[in-house]
Each structure stands twice: as C-alpha cells, then as structure tokens.
Structure 1
Amino acid sequence: MDLNSFFASVEQQLHPEYRGRPLAVVPTMADTTSCIAASYEAKALGIKTGTQVGEAKKSVPTSSSSPATTPITRSTPTRSPRPSNSPAPSPTPPPSTRWSASLIGREQEPPRARKIALEIKQSIYKNVGEALRCSIGMAPNRYLAKIASDMQKPDGLIGLLPSQLPRAIAHLDLRDLPGVGARTEVRLNAKGITTMEQLLALDRNGMHKLWDSVWGDRLYHWLRGANTGDDGAPVSTGIQKSLGHSHVLAPEFRSHEGSWAVAHKLLHKAAMRLRMEKFYTNSLTVSIRFALTKEQTAHIKSKRHTSGIKHSGWAMEARFRECQDTLTLLEALRGVWAQRPQGGHFTKPFFVGVTLRNLIPEDEHQPELFADPNNRADLSATMDKLNLKYGHTTLHFAGMLPARESAPTRIAFTQIPVQYGVDYM
C-alpha cells in the first residue's frame, strides 16, 4: 500500500483551501530549494518531487507552497488504521508512506484479498482524512506487490495473479522495477536489454549473468511469482544498515567554522537516534560539498545540486571500536574533519552529511572486558534523559552551540521523522 502524494495530501487535508489546486510541499520557503512532494494537480502541470521551487513558480504562477514542518504531517502515517481483520504489518515499522503485509490462509483468495484492500482504503478515508488516497498492489510476493501498487495511481487497486505472470508486467518500462534506477538502466541497455520483454525472455542463468550476482536469480523468480530466491539465495533481512543526517547550509554557515558546527549538530542527532533505536556502530562517514564559482567550473569537473549550485565533493570514513556514545563518535568526527581538503576549490562548503554505518543491534554487541573509565555511556544516557524531556538540544557539547538552531528536522525524501520525547528526529 502506497499513500499517494502523501505530504501534499496531508496539507490538503489540513487546509481545505489547497484542495483541487496545484500544491508543492517544500523544506523551506525559498526559491532555491526543491519540492519534497507535489499534489496530483501539480504533477499534471509538470511539477514533481525534485522540481526547484523557482522553476515551479515560473511554470505555474498560481501554484501554492507549504513548508513540511508541521508535527501533524510527520505523525499522520502512524495514524493510518487497518481494519480489525487486516493482516499484520511487515517487519518494517511505521512511520512510512508505504506498507506491506502478508496475507495468510483464506485471506490469500483474490476476492478476500480485494475485500481487505477496499476496507483499508475506506478506513483511511473515514478515520484519517478524505483528502488522503492510497494505491494498493496485491501479488504473490512483496516485490511484485510493490510494482502493482505503482501501476495505477492515484487511488488504485491492482492484483497480479500467478496465472498472469510474467506477461502481466511485460508492458512496463525497466525503470518501473524497484531497484532499477537511471544508472542501472544504462548498464542494462549497454548489455542489450532495453525493454521488459527482453528482460523477461532471459532464463535464470541469463539473469544471473546480467546482474553478475544472486540478485539476478532472485529477480528471475520474483518476476514469475515465487516468494523467495532459488538455491538458498538469501533474501534481505530488513535489518537497518546505516543512519545519519545531512543539511544544506544556510549562507551564514558556509565557512569552515560554520560547517563544523552544523556537522557537530548532525552528529548529536545521529548519536541520539543510534541509542534510541538500540544500535552500536563502528563506522562514521562525513561528506562535504563545496560550491564552485563559474571560473572554477570551467577548469574542473563539477556536479549540480538540486538547488542549482555547481559543486565538488569530498567524503571520508573513520573506523573505530563499537560504540554508541556521543563523545567517542565526536572524537571520530574530529579526526575525519581534520583531514578535509582545504584551499583552492574547497573554501565554500554548502552541504554536510554525517552517516553512521555498520549498525550492530544491541543484543549482538560484545561488551569490552574493561569498563569505560570515563563513563561515556552513562554521560550519553543522562544527556538523553534531559533532551527527551525538554528538547533535543537542551544539553549538548559546546562545539555545536553556533548551530544549535540550524539543521532542524525536516521531512526527507527517504525518511519521515520519528518522535523521540517531545521532539521529532
């Protein structure tokens, strides 16, 4: 089940004056930012996720914008109810704009499955909001169900029966397959696969060679209705592998001092999430993007950010013993930061990202033989108690003080903020 144009639909539910009009949800009210979501009225006029706000205003002067900062927008996914007889959700917990569930027993009979799907739609309409619509896909496995949920929008309901596969998806584009993005499509085209019909004509060995991994084996069987891979090919466990935060710097923070303060704030948030979600980590990656002038872009290879800024990039990873306390992570951040490039093309940072990788669940963490002499874990636990009660920036290390109010929690393309204590993150 996929909630259609979710962020825009929530704003239309909260503000009836937006209904029936082109609406874009944006992280901040600025022409240089990009649309997080667009209503179907806006999509019909060419405005979509990623469209620059300034360009959207030029193409549709009467369109409206709404900042994605309201707690109601963030919390609505957790309020979307299921009928009492609907199946249990998948291992992926809310909040999310997409859910999957496994039907059991007689629920798998197509008429019963369709009845459950219609009850979910009606429940959302009655209990959450009439402006919210969802598309539901039903299929023998989760991969095909995701494809089906995208085949009819908005407010769609598509079921793919085993007897219809794989011909029922032969008309789709390669990019309609989850996991096939622009780069993968180019790679497939280079190997002679340009249509879904050509892909489906391959046997299992051909699919394996095409992807050069067990992913090809899995895909071969999934597209034909199988529920798992073949020959013990592992299916993703769904265990989270990383977490982090990134931020486009406000003009006043586009300096080495300002970007360090924001990086410090991002780490503060990520470390707290690490503990709230009960993980340890042994890897930290820092990424920085540096804005370039027109003269500089003429001499070096550059990329264009969604804001229109041409830039160069840098990233570095640090490895350390498993930990979850802020102070140890801060030491790792400081070590990486000292090695950032300086001078030349690296004087105007405008984007910073901090990511914690190789997440280890608490119950799999191996405690060290000797206790931490500085009680770092207890210090972080005490900070968490105060920050959960009074706000996430109530108690923090001094390095983030200049950026304490910067990098606020926003709705991102890939994550809806979760509420911890009195704040969202």
Structure 2
Amino acid sequence: MGEFKILYCDMSAFFASVEQHMHPELRGRPVAITAVDANSGACVAASYEAKAFGVKTGTPVWEARRLCPGITLLPSRHRLYVRFNLKVGAILDQMAEVERIRSVDEFQIRLSGEATEEAGAFALVRAMKDRLAREIGPTIRFSAGIGPNHLLAKIAGKLEKPDGCQWLSPRNMPDRLAHLAIDDLPGISKGIKARLYAAHVWDIATLYRLDPRHARAIWRSVEGERFVRALQGADIPLVSTERHGYGNSKILSPSFRAVPQAYLVGRWLTEKAAARLRRDGRVSSRFGLSVQLMPQGIWSRSMKCEASQDSAYFLHLHRQLWIQLWRQLRTRTVLSVGVNLGDVSLLEERPGDLFAPLKPATPSAGERVSGVVDLINNRFGPGSIHYGVNRPHPGFFERG
C-alpha cells in the first residue's frame, strides 16, 4: 500500500462549464451564471474566461458587465447541474470508489492498489479526465488533489486550477504550501485565525509543527487536534456531525418579492423542512423565520414550541411570525425567505403528554396525517398534496 489514500476532484467552473457544454457557441467565451436572472443580483459562478476579467462568485451583475463587456450572463439551472453531477459521479465511481460527494462539484475518492502510489494516482487522474471528455464533453474538466487524507487532498486540489493535478504528503509539507496564508486553508475561519495569531501561530509552517494537543486548546475543541494531525499527514476520517436543525432558504426571483408571494414561498419551505424532519424520524421544538428585505435589512425571529413533526402545526407558527413581521413590513420588498426547525431530537425519545393525551414516542394524529401526505407525495411526485395555498419556487439559490 502506497502513501496516498484520497483523490479529491474539484470540477473546474462547473456551472459555467455545463452551460458551455449545452451551448457550444459559448465555448472559449466569458460566461457567468446569475442567481435569479440575467439582469439583476450577483454571479454565482463564472467561467475561467470571465475570471480572467475579474468576474467571480459574488460579483454584482452590473459590475460583471463593466469588467467584461462581452460577457454572456445566464440564469442558473440547478437541476441541470445536478444531472451532470450524477453523470460525472457515475463515471468516476466506475473507475474508483467515490467515497463522498462533497458538493455539486466536488468528489472525494478512496484510492486502492496501484493508485496509492504517485505514478498510479496520476495515471488514474489522466484516465478519468479522458473518459469525462469522451463520454460527456471536453468542457467538463476537474482539478485533482492527491493526498494521504481528505484534508491534504482537498488542499492539493486547489493548487493548480483549472484542469490540474497536484499532491501533498509529509514528503513535501509544509514547504509546498509556503506561498499560502494561514486562512487559505479550508476550515480556518476568521475566529480560528484570530486565536492562532493570539497563540503566535502566524503561518502554515508553524501550524504544521504545532503539537496537536496545543491545537485542541487553541480551537477549544478536539477539531483543532484533528485538523493539525490531518495537516501532518495522519489519515483522520471525516466524522458525521449531529444535526441540530432543518431549514430551507430561498433568494426570490422578482415575481416572488411582493409580501403575499414571499409569504406563500415561506409556506412551501416550511412544508419541505417538515417533510425532511419526518424522514429522519425527528421532532423540532423551535421554529424560526428569517426575511431579508430590500434595499437592506433582515427580520429574524424564532419561538419555542411543542416538540413536533406536524406540518400543519409548523405552518400555524409560520403564520404567527409573519403576522408579527407584517406590522413592520407593509410595503417593503422581500429579497429572501428562510425557515428553520431547530432544537431537534428523535421522535422515539419524546416523552408522553398526559394532557394531550399522547403516549411516549408515538406520533400525534396530525403527525400521522403528515406521514400519509409524505407517502402520497413520494408515490406520485412532490406537491401532489399540500397544505392549503403555497408557491413552489424551485431553482439554484436554495440551501438546506
């Protein structure tokens, strides 16, 4: 067994590359993908031709046009990008073991056999790139990172973009990263950076040589020790985190930004979050609503509630918070809506309620109705049955 265990594939300008694949006339030309439409908002992705002009994720549409007068702006098509993600993942998984799909454009692959050696890993990457170009198209490319663990492989994947391939291991660490700032590393937030600076850890070389137990004290968490051990080359597996909430948020297209329409989108988001809560056998005892207003301002409230997984109950709470908001809102325009079901626990651990009455770990009548709705929607398609009037708003800018 060689020194390498993980291959990290970071798709190159994935959304823009997919659009260039679908529109051959755009290949080799600057392209940016916008969150809502091609006339407002910000860019959520840009081709490398556009990046050469300074257009990047978060660049406002008006500024993108100023920086690159010949740019083509296209509204995002998230479902299309997901379909291409599945195509790419299927091909990669036939050639090696796709261990995790880290995001819509990132894949983590477990290496074995000859691919654990440097020559074998590079040969595997070349074969993967050739097959993607042949079976999907030449615009679909990725930068590869090879390492003894997921952290070093991910960092290596960022070193040569686009379409590159680099490796990291104790053989070339930390010198290979000497040109990077400490917060260029994934997982180093502003808060952690400030703590590291306070501990006189100014650069990656010093961080690399840090005693992992000292890192635990700086982070105030075992994650600091895990991070430094992984940076030093130890095979530290990713751990599943305990889920504390279920939420969805949506940046609204212009036709949904009036208050009545935004309210109906919020109802749709609430139903979606509650369905996911039931899918995992959990209940929530806190409901939250967040509304971003135009031109500026955020209204956010949450309330404690009975531990539940009943969609009708959460929709009632949703309405209560919108009534509070309406008194302050009236004629304002809504840019985004988000809902969150927090303080999550397992249904099987919920105590009974003598006054309801409700037996321990037993769904209420409303929760059983919600479960039947889930069964019908799973059988006949999402939204076949819903609770009153809502406004589905599918599209890219949805989180949760």
Q: Answer yes or no: same fold by TM over 0.5.
A: yes
2:127 corresponds to which of 119, 125, 129: 119
Q: Does 1:374 align with 2:365?
A: yes
**Which runs of 5 or more residues in structure 1 are unaligned?**
230-234, 292-308, 416-425
- The answer to which structure has the higher strand fraction is 2
Shift of 1:7: 0.4
Kindly provide the CA deviation profile for residues 174-218 of structure 1, in whole angstroms up to 9, marking residues without a partner as x. Answer: 232111244544554455444323323433343233222212211
User: Cα–Cα, structure 1 residues 177 and 125, in superposed 2: closer, same or farther, change >3 Å?
Assistant: same
- The 1-side partners of 2:209 and 2:79 are apart by 48
Residue 350 (structure 1) aligns with: 335
Kindly provide the CA deviation profile for residues 10-38 of structure 1, in whole angstroms up to 9, marking residues without a partner as x. Answer: 00000011111110011322433111110
Kindly provide the CA deviation profile for residues 323-356 of structure 1, in whole angstroms up to 9, marking residues without a partner as x. Answer: 2x42233234345445558438996543211123
Kindly provide the CA deviation profile for residues 34-72 of structure 1, in whole angstroms up to 9, marking residues without a partner as x. Answer: 111100000111001111111111221110011112643
Q: Does 1:320 align with 2:306?
A: yes
What amino acid does structure 2 have at the position aligned with 1:122? D
- The 2-side partners of 1:192 and 1:70 are apart by 43
TM superposition score normalised by structure 2: 0.82
Q: Does 1:330 align with 2:315?
A: yes
Is the contact between residue 83 and residue 120 of structure 1 (CA under 8 Å) also seen in structure 2? yes
Residue 287 (structure 1) aligns with: 290
Shift of 1:261: 2.0
Is the contact between residue 28 and residue 67 of structure 1 (CA under 8 Å) also seen in structure 2? yes
1:311 corresponds to which of 262, 285, 297: 297
**Which runs of 5 or more residues in structure 2 are unaligned?**
1-8, 353-358
User: Map of 1:179-328 to 2, 5 A cutoff?
Assistant: 179-189=187-197, 191-228=199-236, 236-237=239-240, 242-249=245-252, 254=257, 257-275=260-278, 278-282=280-284, 283-291=286-294, 309-323=295-309, 325-328=310-313
**What SS class does the counterpart of residue 395 from structure 1 fall into?**
coil
**What SS class does the counterpart of residue 397 from structure 1 fall into?**
coil
Is the contact between residue 3 and residue 98 of structure 1 (CA under 8 Å) also seen in structure 2? yes
**What SS class does the counterpart of residue 269 from structure 1 fall into?**
helix
2:97 corresponds to which of 84, 88, 102: 88
- The 2-side partners of 1:290 and 1:34 are apart by 16
Residue 76 (structure 1) aligns with: 84
Q: What is the root-mean-square deviation in Å for CA atoms of aligned residues?
A: 3.3
- The 1-side partners of 2:107 and 2:280 are apart by 23
Q: Percent identity over the alignment?
A: 28
Kindly provide the CA deviation profile for residues 205-241 of structure 1, in whole angstroms up to 9, marking residues without a partner as x. Answer: 4323322221221122111101128xxxxx5225665
Residue 396 (structure 1) aligns with: 386
Shift of 1:138: 0.9
Shift of 1:411: 2.0
Is the contact between residue 10 and residue 132 of structure 1 (CA under 8 Å) also seen in structure 2? yes
What amino acid does structure 2 have at the position aligned with 1:203? D
TM superposition score normalised by structure 1: 0.78
Residue 65 (structure 2) aligns with: 57
